[in-house]
Structure 1
C-alpha cells in the first residue's frame, strides 16, 4: 500500500506541476498578446492598437502623408467600420476648416477617400467611401460659396410675417436673422447649409421710407447675406 501511495503522490505531484506550468505559459501568452496589440482576424491587421482593414489603413496613411493625422483627430472611432472611420474623418476635417478657415483638410480627405475606393474589400465599403467623399466635397463647396438669402414679401407692416430662406451657410450652424440691427430670430441650417423660416416685423423696425435690410449671419462661418426690405405704413 505504501508503495502505491508513494507512486500516486508522485503522479499527482507531477500532474499539479504540469497544470501549473501550463497556466504560467497561458498567462505569459496572454501578456504577450496584450503587450503586442490585438489579435486581428479576417481581412484586418493591427494598426496603432486597432484592427483595421487594408482599405482603412491606406486611407489613414494617405491623409497622414498629406498633413492630416486622422489617428489623433478621429480617436476611438478608428476601430469601427470603414464608414464610421470615413464619416468621422469628414467631420474632423470640417471642424479643422472652421478653426483654420481653410478647405485643405477637406480636400485631403476627399482625395484620399477616392484612393481608398480602389482598395475596397466590399461594395459596402466602396459605397461608404463614395458617400463620405461626396459629403466632403459638398461641405468644401458650401464653404467656398457666398451665402445667399431671399425674403417674401420685400415690404410689410409691423406685425406681418416674412418668409426668409437662405443657402450656402455651413452645415448645421446657427444663423442669426436681423431686420436692420435688431436680432429677430435664430435658425439652424440643415446638413446642406440651408434654412427656411418665418419672422414677424417688429415694432422697432426702421420707419416707413427708411432704407433697410433683412440680414442673415452664420454664427460659425461668419458668412453674411442681406436683401433690401421696406416697412410699410
Structure 2
C-alpha cells in the first residue's frame, strides 16, 4: 500500500451536512428545540456530558428507526462544496474518513442519497451503531443507540483516528517499519461541535465551522484552527496546502 499525501477526517452532522440529523430529529420528532437547546448549553458549560445529553435527546424520539431515516432523507441537505472536495480527494488519492457521534445507518443512507453510491462505498465511517428490539418482520419499531466506547462522548473520536491509522499501518510508531523513505501524510480534521475537540488534537490542521460551538471552545481553550464556512473553503485551502503552501499560514488562534 502506498502512502497517501494527506488524510481528511471529518465530522458528519452539521459539517458535511447543513443540518445535524440528530438535532433535527429531536427538534421535529422529539421534545423540540427549547429543551434540546437547554441540554446543549449544559453540555457546553460542562455541567452535563455529551453522552448523557445526547441520550436524553434520542430517548424523546418515539418513531420507528426506518421512519426516522426516511424523514431525514427528505429534509437534510448536503454542504454544496462537499462533492467537489470529495472528487478532488479521489483524484489525489486522499482518503476521506467520517468520524461521527451519530449513528452509522443514518450516515450511510444520507451519504448514499446525498453524495452517491460511489462515495458511500469508498468513505469509511467510524460512528455509533443502532440496536433493534423486535423480530425481523418489525425491525426498527423500537431502537436505541449503541455507543462506540465508554467515554463521556459515547465515541471518543481521537481513538477512532488512531484505530484507522493503525489499520493502515500509518500510526507514527510503526510508520517507518512499513514505509521506508516515505513521507508521513498530512492529517486534517473538519468539525463543528465540542465532540470534535479530541479528534482535532490528533491532526495537523483543524477546520472549524464558522459560528459553531467548536470555535467557541477552541477560543476558550486556545486551540489552533482555521475557520471555514463550507467545503468550498476547505477545498481551496486543501488545494493550496497540497500544492506546497505551508499549513502555518492558515492557522488562526495560534
TM-score normalized by the length of structure 1? 0.22
**Larger strand percent:** 1
TM-score normalized by the length of structure 2? 0.20
Q: Tell which structure's C-alpha radius of gyration is larger.
A: 1
